[in-house]
Amino acid sequence: MRSACLTLVAISTLVVGVSARAQTYDPSYPVCMQIYGPVGYLDCRYASLEQCRYLAVGRSATCVVNPYFAQKKPAAARRSTRAH
């Protein structure tokens, strides 16, 4: 009986571990594909909404803006501190 319980615990641990999928937000890409289903996840590796939408055709998915996109900000103009 004890070995049956241990076997059941080991199998349930493996099943739970396999179905888990980490969601990653790659800050290099501005667009993510939200995939729906039993194991839904975000796939952030698209350069544009058009590219994402093209690859999402026929899937249970939608394209969203990556909330962690590391957008380069333009450098502020430096002011001269010299007196005229």
The rounded distance, in Å, linking the Cα atoms of 57 and 20 is 25
84 in a domain, yes or no? no
Structure tokens, 24: 């990653």
60 in a domain, yes or no? yes
Query: Which domain, by its residues, includes 45?
Result: 19-65
61 in a domain, yes or no? yes
9 in a domain, yes or no? no
* Per-residue DSSP letter, 21: -
The rounded distance, in Å, linking the Cα atoms of 26 and 67 is 10
79 in a domain, yes or no? no
Residue 14: the pLDDT is 46
pTM of the predicted model as reported, rounded to 2 decimal places? 0.55
Q: How many domains are there within the chain? A: 1
38 in a domain, yes or no? yes
Per-residue pLDDT of the chain (84 residues; tens, 9 = 90+): 667 655 655 555 544 444 445 556 677 889 999 999 998 999 999 999 999 999 999 999 999 999 888 776 666 666 666 666
33 in a domain, yes or no? yes
The rounded distance, in Å, linking the Cα atoms of 45 and 48 is 9
